[in-house]
Structure 1
Amino acid sequence: MKNRTPKAIRIETFLVGRPWNNLLIVRITADNGLTGLGEGTMQWQAKTVETAVVTLFRRYVIGNSVFEIERLVQAMYRNEYARGGPVLNSAIAAIEMALWDICGKHLGRPVHDLLGGRVRDSMPAYANGWTGAGKDPDDLHGAAREVVAQGFTALKFDPFWALGRDPATADIRRGMEKVAVVRDAVGPDVDILVDGHGRFSIGTAIDVGRRLADYDVYWFEEPVDPENAQALAKVGRSIPVRLATGERCYSRYHVPQLLAASEVAILQPDPIQVGGILESRKIAAIADSAYVTVSFHSPFGPVATAAALQIDACTTNVWKQESFSAFDVPWRQQLVRNCPMPNDGSYAISSEPGLGGIELNDEVAREHPYREEGLESMWQENGGMTAWLDTLM
């Protein structure tokens, strides 16, 4: 029945608990029996997004062709009126990814073939979440060396975890000492990416950004809160390292102002929080028109990673793909069949249908139910992640 257009008839949601956040996986079933996976994971708001997913599917998607993605996304975005926020966009993305997955499976082609075809066979990755139990410089040094041993040529971390707007000089110095340790560990040819998580004031961000240049840091990410493009612009004009931002930019309509005002060198849209694969492609095209590189934010689950890789495969102005995969919970690879994982610091671009031939392992999802305590504060000592990773050692 390949010639008959499949229609979406059923949606299922799966809240999968991890110690630092809960994954939201969505599965849509079409009337020809095909299923597609999507992901709507959002920090701290998994249940909220889950409710929105079910509501949007019932209002706009059920009974419609899975190929009418542009029309259905427009309806979900426009008709809800209170639009453009991360909750609604994450719900749209979960549905949209699942529809693409079904389309690819129906045609027997990977999604990137439906978006213009691949421009690369593999996608270099940068490591994130690798710091693990690194409580002192010796631990951090060893952890960074292990990242390089795994083949990664770039790694990201926040050496200023738990600090506020204008921390004490001694705290800034200790953060810089961590950067120095990592540079010593990885040598001169590995890119170090520093994430500020929007924590600093303009003055502190400029001070930190100038100091980071001493260690040949590749980018300084979210040095100040991302809502204020003028504040980002002042920092970007005043520091000698690349300014990266965009994971909390939720719409392509925000991108022109961001690019015009803030001197962004690397734009980091999140395929979930901007509303899916098509929106990510549109944002990448806008960035390309300004000669700006994109690097898709993706710290969540394997379905989100699979979707990001399909975008990477057919996007010309993309840098490296963020990867938590090698440093996540040990059961990540069992959660979905054909779970994308980096090998020697890169992801292979899958030729399997849909989002890479992924299928949910329901049993593993049930073994890891929603965790009310699954939160990670970036302004709490060690952020909670270190304590969690300690339990895995």
Structure 2
Amino acid sequence: MKIIDLRVRCVAIPLNAQLRHNTGVHPGYFLRTILEIFTDEGIVGLGEVGGGDQRAALTKLKPRIIGMDPFKLEVIKMKVLRSIYYLSNSRLYAAIEMACLDIQGKAMNRPLSDLLGGSVRDEIPFIAYLFWRYDRPGGGHDECAEDLADHCEQLHEELGVKSMKLKAGVMAPAEEARVLELCRDRLGEDYGLRIDPNGVWSVPTAVKIGKRLEDLGIEYFEDPAWGLEGNAAVRKQVRIPIATNMYPNKFDDLGPAIRLGAVDIVLTDIHYWEGPRGVKDLCAVCNTFNMGVAMHSGAEFGIELAAMIHTASTIPAMTFAGDAHYHYLTDDIIQGGLMKYENGCIKVPTGPGLGVVLDEDKMKRYEKYYEEKGDYYARFHQDPYRPDWFPNVGGI
């Protein structure tokens, strides 16, 4: 079997609100680049990547994979990821690996999870991912801790989710701490709580808020301050496990993070950690050093979510509920529409490969929507309601 062509398309899907974070605002939609890899046997593999319009970048890699056997992933990885400094991009390689694994599974009529060692669970629990929102359903903005606690209760009731995470670093730190306190009071001692200021807080602020949250028994404090040194400094002073999807988020920094004692839990990400197989490599290292693993969300659509679910299902140590922005999407590009939550979980797809199929009518609709709306990554660090605002890392 050989790769004979690839196709890349950008699509955007509306959200049910604008989502605020400490470096800007998702402006009411998510966008993804969808990859299709074609083989001489008529099997097509699907991949997906975020980070804006990646069509040109993936097209530049096309000559490196045409003629390759999609089963020869180590060689493809060397040709795509390892050999050219200025084209070395784990996100792009991960999309290609995702598509090649989809091809392999379809060729063997086995789910992708079987290629990674086999599932140890048939469904994956997910969280209520809480953002401070502009233009909420029904109107208005989130302005106080009660608004976020209300939203958490709503998601718990509608989806059955049993854990939450607050995307912090937006409002005053004390008000964000109050969100977790309210959720603990309303949802009980067994409800999982997490907070993630994405490294924007200073070490003193992170320590102050961390100490305030210690008695809540939260699952973890994610990227409380900037960089490996910042996380390590907070970890020494706060009795809460420190998690990260930022420091480290690549193999180059994993050794230094372990030596510094910067982190207790690493959030795996298919794109940062070089594809599903790379995630398995990461988990092996984490197991060696008795570090926990959880799952990061990158605002994915159904193709990547399927890959995340397959991968997570094969990792025995991944006992935390996974992150997912998915409940903010109004639709999906796969046949059947949005995957369904059942008791806070999404089932592992059972079809061959990823187990999902593109809906071409929706691809056309959301390609058009993307062309209308455009690539927001050029204006990512903006706030439509505060035109003079800009991020200030460590300024709080």
Going from structure 1 to structure 2, the CA distance change for 1:380 and 1:236 (only over 3 Å counts) comes to farther
Per-residue deviation, residues 312-366 of structure 1 (Å, max 9, x unmatched) = 11112213211222222x122xx11255443210121122111123334333432
Per-residue deviation, residues 139-197 of structure 1 (Å, max 9, x unmatched) = 323211112212111011134316xxxxxxxx333222333222223222111110111
Q: Give the Cα separation in 1 of the matches to 2:87 and 2:259.
A: 23
Matches within 5 A, 1:36-51: 36-42=45-51, 46-47=52-53, 49-51=54-56
Residue 201 of structure 2 is matched in structure 1 by 200
Going from structure 1 to structure 2, the CA distance change for 1:248 and 1:74 (only over 3 Å counts) comes to farther
Q: Percent identity?
A: 22
Residue 316 of structure 2 is matched in structure 1 by 316
Q: Give the Cα separation in 2 of the matches to 1:343 and 1:383.
A: 38
Going from structure 1 to structure 2, the CA distance change for 1:378 and 1:140 (only over 3 Å counts) comes to farther
Do the aligned residues in 2 keep the contact of 1:67 with 1:103 (CA within 8 Å)? yes
Residue 60 of structure 2 is matched in structure 1 by 55
Residue 337 of structure 1 is matched in structure 2 by 335
Residue 294 of structure 2 is matched in structure 1 by 295
Query: Which secondary structure does the structure 2 equivalent of 1:323 belong to?
Result: coil
Q: Give the Cα separation in 2 of the matches to 1:121 and 1:325.
A: 19
Matches within 5 A, 1:190-339: 190-226=191-227, 229-247=228-246, 249-300=248-299, 301-318=301-318, 319-328=320-329, 330-332=330-332, 335-337=333-335
Query: Which secondary structure does the structure 2 equivalent of 1:322 belong to?
Result: coil
Q: Could you tell me the TM-score, scaled by structure 1's length? A: 0.84
Do the aligned residues in 2 keep the contact of 1:131 with 1:144 (CA within 8 Å)? no
Gaps of 5+ in 2: 14-27, 137-141, 388-396
Per-residue deviation, residues 225-280 of structure 1 (Å, max 9, x unmatched) = 23xx2221111111111101034644323222222323422101321122211111
Q: Give the Cα separation in 2 of the matches to 1:380 and 1:348.
A: 36
Do the aligned residues in 2 keep the contact of 1:266 with 1:293 (CA within 8 Å)? yes
**How many residue pairs align between the two structures?**
358
Which of 59, 67, 70 is the aligned partner of 1:66? 70
Q: Could you tell me the TM-score, scaled by structure 2's length? A: 0.83
Deviation at 1:378, TM superposition (A): 7.1
Which of 25, 34, 37 is the aligned partner of 2:43? 34
Per-residue deviation, residues 195-229 of structure 1 (Å, max 9, x unmatched) = 11110112221111111213332211111123xx2
Deviation at 1:110, TM superposition (A): 0.6
Deviation at 1:63, TM superposition (A): 1.1
Pairwise CA RMSD: 2.4
Q: Give the Cα separation in 1 of the matches to 2:195 and 2:247.
A: 17
Which of 79, 83, 86 is the aligned partner of 1:79? 83
Residue 151 of structure 1 is matched in structure 2 by 160
Q: Give the Cα separation in 2 of the matches to 1:307 and 1:379.
A: 31
Deviation at 1:377, TM superposition (A): 5.1
Gaps of 5+ in 1: 1-5, 163-170, 385-393
Do the aligned residues in 1 keep the contact of 2:12 with 2:367 (CA within 8 Å)? no
Q: Give the Cα separation in 1 of the matches to 2:386 and 2:345.
A: 28
Q: Give the Cα separation in 1 of the matches to 2:252 and 2:386.
A: 32
